[in-house]
Structure 1
Amino acid sequence: MLSHHEALTQIKAAKLVAILRHVPADKLDGVVEALIAGGVRVLEFTFDHDSAECVKENAGKIRHTAEKYGDRVLVGCGTALTVQEVEAACDAGACLVISPNVDYGVIRRTRQLGMVSMPGALTPTEIVAAHGAGADIVKLFPAGTLGVDYIKAVRGPLGYIDMSAVGGVKPENVEQFLDAGVCGFGVGGQLVLASAVKSGDFAAIQARAKQFTDAIAAWNEKRL
């Protein structure tokens, strides 16, 4: 597993986290390979809490991906709500823990295990609390509802805290979100297209991934 510093550096450099939710096991390799071919370097496998076996199932996907593709992509878990899920993800090879909320126990255990912590927050109070608890990056969620103007406003007094955006990010507005001051963003349905997963159209997923990574590359180029 990557060190905490190595993982955090890779996540910030990549900027894009691909969110894999409800991807069937028989489509997993096809989706992962398409994302990697499209330039994606960080994956988030979410816990599906509708399933009684979600911890075992998600840990299996993380372990398979980390073992097979770990030299090309960083693997993390998402929708992590409990310490048990954090520990299962760590045992499976995850380097990153993402949550939709601020849970001090989850943040603390993530950092104790040497993984990168990215809890979700909405208000300035939650953002500061998450940072104070040890979060490496605070996920602004739902960013699509909040909007770029909200991100700019909240980063005014809190610019010292690394923040990412999840929700509402598309290739055509990547530049707006990055200009607003986030260090990266997570993308689910806009990237891992449900229809393409269902039909096995991995070329479509690769093409969509390239749209995102090209937009990031263009933004980076402007910063040189």
Structure 2
Amino acid sequence: MRTIDEVLASGAPPIVAILRGLKPAEAISITDALVTAGIRLIEVPLNSPDPFASIAAMQAAFGDRALIGAGTVIDLASVDRLVTTGAKLMVTPNTNPEVIAHGISAGLEVMPGFLTASEAFAAIGAGARHLKLFPASAMSPAYLKALREVIDRRIGLWAVGGTDSTDLAAWLSAGAEGLGVGGAVYRPGDDADAVAAKVAGLVMAWSAAAQPRPRSQQKA
């Protein structure tokens, strides 16, 4: 897969699995557990051990079924190394218009991080169409809802940082396009079975949040 919109159109959960600390030796087994569970957006932060080796292996094995890439991309050199892996997803923790524009010009699907409205509009001005509110846990769904009032609805806003199955529904109700989930999906030392169990609960929470409420529970 090559774009976030393509993933969402496929009906996959709007969840980015963040594999911080992943090692190359476990990259395939962990990714297989995620893809089997239905996750189609996966990032390996660049402060993980040998991240580009993991990303390249994951892309080769699962790139036709998932949008895979790097997180914590903060400089132009990292953008260029990511391109060499064939992976297409580029996630940043901050708003750097030069890095964003460079990633887009290289054909990557970019999701830059922002915290303020000014940063969000700077990222949009650089060409981004999906933005990451980070760290979401420092703010609230109400904050994202307020941002949603002034940011074009065609721009997807994702809540990332401290998110999990317990607040997934609240973020989606506030207007989030999706969530990025780290420790609630993977922590260093987790094996594929542990990841499968974690992500099953997350996907179940998304399925429940995505279901329309019975008419008797809806407000008049």
TMscore range, shorter length: 0.7 to 0.9
Gaps of 5+ in 2: 214-220
Q: Does 1:183 align with 2:177?
A: yes
Q: 1:48 to 1:182 in 2, by over 3 A?
A: same
Deviation at 1:212, TM superposition (A): 1.2
Q: CA deviation at 1:129?
A: 0.9
Q: CA shift at 1:78, angstroms?
A: 0.4
Structure 1 length-normalised TM: 0.86
Instruction: State the structure with bigger RCO (CA 8 A, min sep 6), 1 or 2.
Output: 1
Q: Which residue does 2:29 correspond to in 1? A: 30
Q: Would you say the 8 A contact 1:66–1:94 is kept in 2? A: yes
Identity of aligned residues (%): 31
**How far off is 1:179 after superposition?**
0.6
Give the secondary structure class of the aligned counterpart of 1:117: strand
User: Is 1:221 aligned with 2:211?
Assistant: yes
Deviation per residue, 1:30-71 (Å, 9 max, x gap):
21122222221111011118xxxx7xx222111111111223
Matches within 5 A, 1:94-105: 94-105=87-98
Shift of residue 26, structure 1, vs aligned partner: 2.2
Q: How does 1:1-224 map to 2 (within 5 A)?
A: 2-3=1-2, 6-10=3-7, 13=11, 14-48=13-47, 57-160=50-153, 161-195=155-189, 197=190, 200=191, 202-222=192-212
- Report if the CA contact (8 A) 2:157-2:178 is conserved: yes
Cα contact 2:23–2:51 (8 A) shared by 1 = no
Query: Which one has the bigger helix percentage?
Result: 1
Ranges of 4+ aligned residues in structure 1 off by more than 6 Å: none
| Counterpart secondary structure, 2:159 | strand
- Aligned CA RMSD, in angstroms, stands at 2.1
Q: Could you list the per-position Cα deviations for residues 166-221 of structure 1 after superposition, in whole angstroms to 9, with x for gaps in the alignment?
A: 012111221111011011111111111335x2xx3x22210111111122222223
Asked if structure 2 preserves the Cα contact closer than 8 Å seen for 1:19 and 1:45, the reply is yes
Where does structure 1 lack aligned partners over 5 or more consecutive residues? none
CA 1:206–1:10: 2 relative to 1, 3 Å = same
